[in-house]
Amino acid sequence: MQRSGRITLMPSRKRKYRVDLVIPVYNEAEALEKAYAQICGVVDKLPHEFRFIYVNDGSDDGTEESLASVRQIDRRVTALSLSTNFGHQAALTAGLDHSTGDIVITMDGDGQHPPEMIPQMIELIAQGYDIVQGQRAEEARPSFFKKFTSDTFYKFINAVSGTQMVAGAADFRALNRQAVDALKAMPEYHRFLRGMISWIGYRSVILPYHQPARIAGHSKYSVGKMFRLASDAIFSFSLIPLYIGLSSGLLFFALALIQLSWVFWLAISKNTEHVIAPGWSSLMAVMLIASGIIMILLGFIGVYVGYIFQEVKRRPIYLLKKEG
């Protein structure tokens, strides 16, 4: 993927685009209106036709009311309400499904995706890129914990997956219609959009940005949600965990053969009574480790079976409660 640092932004031929801003929100009542005002401060100066597609991901604070008041003053705002909290990736999917614009920009509703990047994103799409992928600048990581988990995750996923993913990539990106349609053609239930974006290919470019602090409230990505996202990424994009089990099994099979040959050799050299009894503890160790590995392998298979089960059920990724 090309980095935008090396790209010179030449003013493209002036075309007026229909741009949809897809913004998932979960309990963002405190931040929503300020973040909306910040976006307006940027997009109202641009010549394009903008539409805000807010996706209320089952919030139980005043998010619905905040959305209603924004809708009252701005006819460009559409609010989709999901029937419960389906998660960020499902909410993004709902927004993408409802988009009709030439360009779709997905961004967070807490002000952490700076709207100042929007003109540059549109310009890059106008210059012929299909995907403009926002990437958090290195120093902007919110905490040591987030930085550590994110760095480890991307190192691991790039080692085990056939799809290379950009470290620090955020769900802040612009897509042209072709890329949106490609994503819409992927109906999988376990969604890791950053991986899906890399998988679909097309002409993409990375655009680094500095991430400001949240306007208000706290992160809605609990540790549980982060684990679920990591699990969706690993098990949807890699079969390596299955091979880890398989290769460990082969290794232990080889060790068992070596051990058998050793015992056999002791037997024919008539030395058995003396040596086999002290070997009991090592034998137990090997047995325990081997059964541990079998358990882990079964666990991996279990996860894949679970994923297959959920895919074959063809459940909807989200359910709408209200659209307006």
57 contact choice in Mg ion, ligand UDP, none (CB below 5 to 8 Å, kind-dependent) = ligand UDP
Which residue of 89, 112, 236, 238 would you call a contact of Mg ion, by CB under 5 A?
112
The residue type found at 48 is H
Among residues 80, 36, 77, the alpha carbon closest in space to that of 58 is found at 80
Compute the least distance from the CB of residue 299 to ligand UDP, in Å.
26
The answer to whether 110 contacts Mg ion (rule: CB under 5 A) is yes
Q: What is the distance, to the nearest Å, from the Cα of residue 40 to the centroid of all Cα atoms in its chain?
A: 27
Supply the minimum distance, in Å, between the C-beta of residue 156 and Mg ion: 23
Q: Which residue is nearest to Mg ion (CB)?
A: 112
Which of 36, 195, 20 lies closest to 121 in space, CA to CA? 20
Closest separation in Å from C-beta 211 to Mg ion = 8
Query: Distance between CA atoms of 170 and 279, rounded to whole angstroms?
Result: 54
Widest distance between CA atoms in the chain: 94
CA–CA gap between residue 312 and residue 71 (Å, rounded): 38
Residue among 219, 261, 282, 291 that touches ligand UDP (CB under 6 A):
219
C-beta of residue 74 within 8 angstroms of C-beta of residue 41: no
Binding mask 100-139 for ligand UDP (x = CB under 6 A): --------xxx-x---------------------------
Q: Are 163 and 192 in contact (CB under 8 A)?
A: no
Question: Residues 21, 52, 53, 57: which binds ligand UDP (CB under 6 A)?
Answer: 57
- Beta-strand relationship, 131-136 and 204-209: parallel
Residue with tokens 């894949």: 304
Residue 28 is a binding residue for ligand UDP (CB under 6 A): yes
**From Mg ion, ligand UDP, none, which one binds at residue 109 (CB under 5 to 8 Å depending on kind)?**
ligand UDP
* Candidate ranges 4-12, 14-22, 37-45, 217-225; the one touching ligand UDP (CB under 6 A): 217-225
Which residues of this protein are in contact with ligand UDP, per CB under 6 A? 24-26, 28, 57, 85, 87-88, 91, 108-110, 112, 219-221
